């Protein structure tokens, strides 16, 4: 802090000296204009370094997992420098899909059958050119779960595939029913609380590559589904580790936050329309069981869930669904190493609902909280096109789990 104050004093002195000796020009002359620009730039830089760029907070329920992360994932200890021209939460959230690049990835699609007669679409990136793991039978596999209306073509998914490719791993993306262009065979889609399709997918991957280590990464609702799955399964899973990004831990708090006027305008209405568009695409099979006209009149995610999701999955009320979908209630039962990344300014998952105390009670959990980052934003660098802070967390943690996973056994 002494160094920062000293630098600030020097900067102020130099600026004052420059202003005093500025060439005398009119109020709107170039000298005054340059002075104003320099003054604003200096003030903005000081504000950014003091209030915006901060080290993340790492919380864990056990010392063993905490020290493992500090040692194997240096990103958890580094200062996060959000992109200086778009560090605000909503701007990060809105710009990420447009600013970040979409790496070229060629998938191999596979459709597998579900117990109810439906089908699940999996997009595989086999990485047959892997030098570090040339044998497909033992090549590590990373299962990726996109967000609420996301698919394997989302930029954040493509970035994780790219990071996995660099590590020599294979990836498979679990697309929720009906969102990636496949035909909906039964009147059932998906929700954060129901993990039956996820269990089917994990069992299928394990049968296909029995000798290959398997880990998973979930984003937003995909992360919620993963956390709920781990909470239900306990030790009865083949997953070696899990990383979760921008999950909503308490659905009541998430929906309440998104119903605030600005966030409803920016995010809630758009996501509701995306959900309705998916329903409309599959109307012929869904209208046999649900009042689709009523669903299409929903104006918020809560109204959509009241009219469609909670009814589809048999909940007496929407509150019952939201309670069951909230991963916070199952964190105590997680028995697999799980790292969670949330931004304190994420309007989808407000900071007061981040389950810090629950994480402290389970040695298998770790929570990494950045001061800024928004929802699946985490943009950094002058022009954050190729990589984000979230990408770096994913890559380092995936490598640590796959290559140092034996050290994560028995974290209690």
Per-residue pLDDT reduced to its tens digit, 69-113: 999 999 999 999 999 999 999 999 999 999 999 999 999 999 999
| Secondary element (H or E) of residue 99 | helix 89-99
pLDDT at 115 over 90: yes
Mean pLDDT of 312-333: 98
- Within 8 A by CB and 6+ apart from 131, the residues are 168
pLDDT average, residue stretch 245-274: 97
User: How confident is residue 268, by pLDDT bands cut at 50, 70 and 90?
Assistant: very high
CATH of 52-405, one of 3.40.50.1820, 1.10.760.10, 3.50.50.60, 1.10.645.10: 3.40.50.1820
Cα–Cα distance between 72 and 342 in angstroms, integer?
A: 20
Provide the pLDDT confidence category of residue 31 given band limits of 50, 70 and 90: low
DSSP label of 136 = T
For the chain, report the end-to-end CA distance as a whole number of angstroms: 38
Angle between helices 89-99 and 155-167 (to 10 degrees): 70
- 333 included as an active-site residue: no
Question: What confidence score (pLDDT) does residue 203 get?
Answer: 98
Does position 160 have pLDDT exceeding 90, yes or no?
Answer: yes
pTM attached to this predicted model: 0.90
Catalytic residue among 159, 375, 387, 391: 375
281 by DSSP, 3-state: which? helix
Specify whether 126 is catalytic. no
Percent of the chain predicted with pLDDT > 90: 84
Determine whether 375 is an active site residue.
Answer: yes
The full set of domain ranges for the chain reads 52-405
* ∠ CA 130-133-134, rounded to 5°: 65
Q: How many CA atoms lie within 13 A of 138 on its CB side?
A: 6
Token pair recorded at residue 282? 């599959």
205-244 pLDDT, tens per residue?
999 999 999 999 999 999 999 999 999 999 999 999 999 9
Sequence-distant (≥ 6) Cβ neighbours of residue 409 within 8 angstroms: none
Model confidence at 59, pLDDT cuts 50, 70, 90, reads very high
pLDDT tier for residue 42 given thresholds of 50, 70 and 90:
confident
Say if residue 5's pLDDT is above 60. no
From 123, 346, 387, 391, the catalytic residue: 346
Are 333 and 326 within 8 A, CB to CB? no
Q: Which of 60, 152, 164, 220 is catalytic?
A: 220
Q: Residue 244: enclosing H or E segment and its boundaries?
A: strand 239-245
Higher local confidence (pLDDT), 8 or 222: 222
């Amino acid at each position: 802090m002494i160094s920062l104050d000293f630098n600030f004093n020097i900067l102020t002195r130099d600026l004052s000296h420059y202003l005093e000796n500025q060439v005398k020009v009119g109020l709107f002359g170039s000298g005054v204009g340059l002075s104003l620009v320099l003054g604003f730039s200096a003030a903005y830089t000081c504000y950014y370094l003091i209030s915006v760029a901060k080290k993340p907070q790492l919380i864990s329920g056990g010392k063993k997992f905490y020290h493992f992360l500090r040692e194997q994932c240096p990103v958890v200890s580094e200062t996060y420098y959000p992109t200086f021209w778009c560090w605000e939460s909503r701007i990060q959230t809105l710009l990420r899909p447009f600013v970040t690049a979409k790496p070229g990835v060629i998938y191999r699609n596979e459709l597998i059958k579900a117990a109810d007669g439906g089908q699940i679409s999996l997009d595989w990136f086999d990485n047959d050119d892997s030098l570090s793991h040339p044998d497909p039978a033992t090549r590590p596999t990373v299962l990726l779960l996109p967000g609420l209306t996301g698919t394997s073509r989302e930029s954040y998914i493509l970035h994780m595939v790219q990071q996995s490719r660099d590590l020599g791993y294979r990836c498979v993306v679990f697309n929720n029913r009906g969102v990636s262009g496949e035909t909906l065979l039964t009147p059932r889609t998906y929700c954060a609380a129901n993990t039956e399709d996820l269990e089917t997918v994990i069992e299928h991957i394990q049968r296909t590559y029995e000798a290959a280590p398997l880990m998973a990464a979930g984003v937003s609702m995909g992360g919620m589904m993963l956390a709920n799955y781990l909470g239900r399964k306990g030790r009865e899973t083949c997953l070696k580790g899990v990383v979760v990004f921008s999950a909503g831990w308490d659905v009541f708090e998430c929906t309440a936050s998104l119903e605030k006027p600005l966030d409803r305008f920016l995010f809630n209405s758009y996501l509701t329309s995306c959900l309705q568009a998916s329903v409309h695409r599959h109307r012929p099979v869904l209208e046999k069981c649900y009042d689709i006209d009523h669903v299409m009149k929903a104006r918020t995610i809560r109204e959509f869930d009241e009219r469609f999701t909670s009814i589809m999955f048999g909940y007496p009320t929407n509150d019952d669904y939201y309670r069951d979908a909230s991963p916070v209630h199952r964190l105590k039962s997680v028995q697999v190493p799980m790292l969670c990344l949330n931004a304190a300014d994420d309007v989808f998952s407000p900071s007061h609902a981040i389950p810090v105390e629950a994480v402290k009670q389970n040695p298998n959990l770790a929570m990494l909280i950045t001061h800024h980052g928004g929802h699946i934003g985490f943009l950094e660098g002058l022009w954050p096109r190729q990589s984000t802070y979230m990408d770096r967390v994913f890559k380092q943690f995936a490598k640590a789990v796959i290559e140092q996973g034996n050290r994560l056994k028995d974290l209690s």
